Amino acid sequence: MAIAYSLHLGSDKNKKASSRGLAKKTLSGSTSLTNNGIQNAGALTKADKHNYRKYDNDQTNIEIVKGSDSLVKDVKELYLEEFEPARTEYNSWQTRSDRKIDNYFEHVSTDKTRDLACEIIIELGNKDFWNGKDDECRKKMTAVYKKQVDDLELLVPNFKVCSAIIHYDETSPHMHIVGVPIKDNLKNGMAKQVGKSTVFNKVKLIEIQDQMRALCIEEYNQEYEVKETLKEKQKGRNQDINVRDMEHYSEMREELDKNQETLKVANDKSDKLNNYSDELKESLTNLKQNAITKNYSLDIKTKESIENYINEVNTTNKAFKDLNKLKETLSNVGDDLKDAKNLQESNKALNVRVKALTNKIKEKDNQINELEKLVDHFKELYDSFQSMYYYIKDKFDKLINFIGKSIVKNPGKYKSFAEDLRGHGIFNSEDIKAIDKASESINKENEKASEEFYKNKEKDDFEL
């Protein structure tokens, strides 16, 4: 049995009571709103209470895949992590205080043109599909839905998931994902902002639904070790895989057409058989009994009718034998189509992942290239600063030595000068020690020179 799949992105249509009523009539029979846009803090609180079952304080049949036990807290923390640097930068170049943004979470919450967060509801299988399945079977969907969260983050990196919760307490297991869509590198306003219409425009949403759909059935088949396929999409939604694109479809279609003709012939013969039966019944009713032998006599017409009936029975039996072959062929073709569709869906899921990972690698390669350029730039700056450092250090060391030597010649003037530089923060205590050391070195050199002078003088006087 083909399985239904749905991925709904919340909108603001649920403001009307009629829309909320329609939202409850989902295939799952659940009360989860399929059009529940989270436009402000109040709507976020309602989603928090509904998703975490805080209305009745019963969390036994829900499973948190991502996030804490508070949706409101998770969204607020994400706002700080993602938008605070951009908000601070934006405020830094605002000259008017009324244009500054004190709290971006509250700023968006009061803005009626934007949604504070987005909710996506994913559901595999409907009420009929899950009816009669035990808890162990249903709970295996945790692994499937966890992979769906990973897939969504891979396919839509600008949608930051705050919370993901599976509901097992309704007729069909389904998952609520709440996150914040982000647009970046903006010229007007903050450089980074909430951007639902950018991340989830009509074209992108259809593509996301199609990709997530292919990945989900692949994950389900792997987890449950089956080979199921998805139901055709409903009118107005992204089209499913076309069976005409499947391998060997033409050959299977030709065989089906031939057997359909056999079925038509068999039906025609069955109709003739019914007519002969009626005629024969009438003939038997009108048979005349011989008064002497008590036997019934057949006229030529009745005899021919019976013979025709027998021939038609034989022919029809042969046709119905062919129908058995048709039944077997239809069954084989159905299996082939199912296998082909499974293969198509698996290949599609693989292509989705390859494409997403390729884009991710390309993005990382671009980041690496930018970082390499930045590293080269900083290396040039480092080399430049290093050269400048050694140049300044050399000059500074010479200044220290100069002052140290000058203090020996003129202690009052240059010692006072060194202390003034220290007072203005140009020299520190270590620099003063270096100056004193330079002075001591000069004094030692002078003392040694003086000793050599007097020693040589005494020698000269002795020779005289």
Residue 369: what pLDDT? Answer: 76
Regarding whether 305 and 182 lie in a shared domain, the answer is no
Please count the other Cβ atoms lying within 10 Å of the Cβ belonging to residue 77: 15
- The residue among 239, 265, 288 that closes a domain is 239
Regarding whether 418 and 370 lie in a shared domain, the answer is no
Selection from 173, 167, 166 nearest residue 130 by Cα: 173
Copy the structure tokens of residue 460. 């000269």
- Dump pLDDT digits (tens) for 219-270: 999 899 988 888 876 654 433 334 444 444 455 556 656 666 666 666 666 6
Regarding whether 127 and 102 lie in a shared domain, the answer is yes
Regarding whether 120 and 268 lie in a shared domain, the answer is no
Regarding whether 80 and 46 lie in a shared domain, the answer is yes
Regarding whether 220 and 172 lie in a shared domain, the answer is yes
Domain count, the chain: 3
Copy the structure tokens of residue 283. 């003939």
CB 198 within 8 A of CB 172: no
CB 120 within 8 A of CB 152: yes
Please report whether residue 117 resides in a domain. yes
Range of the structural domain that residue 439 is part of:
410-463
pTM, two decimal places:
0.57
Phi first, then psi: what are they for 184, rounded to 5°?
Answer: -130, 170
- Dump pLDDT digits (tens) for 169-210: 888 999 999 999 999 999 999 999 999 989 998 888 888 998
Regarding whether 202 and 297 lie in a shared domain, the answer is no
Q: Name the DSSP letter for residue 117.
A: B
Higher pLDDT, 12 or 338: 12
Regarding whether 198 and 110 lie in a shared domain, the answer is yes
End-to-end alpha carbon distance in the chain: 130
Regarding whether 204 and 263 lie in a shared domain, the answer is no
- Banded model confidence at residue 392, pLDDT cuts 50, 70, 90: confident
Residue 243: what pLDDT? Answer: 42
Please report whether residue 79 resides in a domain. yes
